[in-house]
Amino acid sequence: MKKIILISNDKLYFNQTKVFSEFNDTINIIEGLSQKNYIYFISRNNEIKGIFRTNLKNKFQLKFYQIKNFNMKNKKVFMISITPFNFLVFMILNFFHKNLEGFVILRSDGFKEYSVKYGFFGKKIYEFFFNKILKKFKPIVVTDKLSNIKNFKYLKIFPSEITKIWSKNLKKPNLSKPNLLYLGRIKKEKGIFSLIELIENLDIDYNLNIVGDKNKLSLTNNKIKVFKETSNKKKIIHFYDQNNIFVLPSFTEGSPKVILESLSRLRPVIIFRDIKHVKSKFRGVFVINRNTKELKKTIIFILKNYKKIQLQMKKNKIPTKDQFQKDLIRIIK
């Protein structure tokens, strides 16, 4: 069994047999890597169990004070995203162990994300991290549209958490009015506040259902409802089935799992031009400008042509979780 040092900014909780995270895509990566590798973790610790988990006995939590004398022979590093914490870990590892080898998976465009969150200086800080880390680690990207990535040799992979359950018992939608769904984190860069502003200016009847952290939103509009986030796949599928259009308003994305989920349930998706690259070759994804007029026009078009759009969506070849994990193992051999 090969050995991997996994660096993760995400807060992880460990017990003897399991690893818990707040993010399913992190668990998906851990599951893939652990099939053929013993994993040493360097991560931020969580005092509570995240809502996503995986069984894992072959693991060890590596502490900062252990890095200096740690035997790096025949071990590769796998970094999940570039963040200040991950950069700090990288600098410590690189200081004590000059011949580092490994990979960094870039799940989103950090240049755009840091620019949205922190402005010009945020982008410059990320650029510094990016250039330092990519001189040592081979980048794995989820899209070749990432800023500055063409300056490096990179590997490409298509993340997916889609299993057989997603294509079973498809439900007919209620098309009496627009029932819009957003499922994801409640953060500025995710565009949810922008979406709420656009939605509230619509002059047509609608419902907007948001699945996320209820504590981060305070709303008075009775057409907008917020539901607690969940890791239960059946409950998540139920949310898609109860709505007829999924809206992803993000300002920056890599390869969002929610698009694959929505397409698997034959629910059309609306995205904005900021993330037009995520449309890929998928049928049923509509790219629009970020304004109320175009949003209204697209919603009406989708509802009027729903059956035709669904027939086209059935031709989509949706990537699967199994294929993603196989590709991940193949890449790091």
Give the model's pLDDT for residue 264.
Answer: 97
Average pLDDT, the chain: 93
Domains in the chain, please, with CATH? 2-160+322-332 (3.40.50.2000), 164-313 (3.40.50.2000)
In the predicted structure, residue 161 carries a pLDDT above the cut 90 = yes
Residue 311 pLDDT grade (very low, low, confident, very high; cuts 50, 70, 90)? very high
45 backbone dihedrals φ, ψ, rounded to 5°: -90, 145
What pTM did the predictor assign? Answer: 0.88
- Sign of the dihedral defined by the CA atoms of residues 234, 239, 244, 250, in that order: negative
CA gap 42, 327 in Å, rounded? 23
Contact (Cβ atoms closer than 8 angstroms) between residue 126 and residue 146: no
Residue 138 · residue 153 · CB < 8 Å: yes
Q: Whats the size of the chain, residue-wise?
A: 333
Calculate ∠ Cα 301-306-310, nearest 5°.
130
Work out the burial of residue 186: count CB atoms within 10 Å of its CB; fewer than 13 is exposed, 13-18 middle, 19 or more buried.
middle
Please, which pLDDT band fits residue 178 given cuts at 50, 70 and 90? Answer: very high
- Residue 78, pLDDT above cutoff 90: yes
Q: What is the pLDDT of residue 182?
A: 97
Q: Please give the Cα distance from 13 to 45 (Å, whole number).
A: 6
Quote the CA–CA distance of 224 and 226 in Å, as a whole number. 7
Over residues 243-287, the pLDDT tens digits come to 999 999 999 888 899 999 999 999 999 999 999 988 888 999 999
Instruction: Say if residue 174's pLDDT is above 90.
Output: yes
**What gap in Å lies between CA 228 and CA 222, rounded to an integer?**
17
Percentage of residues of the chain with pLDDT beyond 70 = 100
Tens of pLDDT, residue by residue over 1-47, are 789 999 999 999 999 899 999 889 999 999 999 998 999 999 998 88
Q: Which candidate, 38, 54, 267, 57, places its Cα nearest to that of 171? A: 267
Strands 269-272, 285-288: pairing is parallel
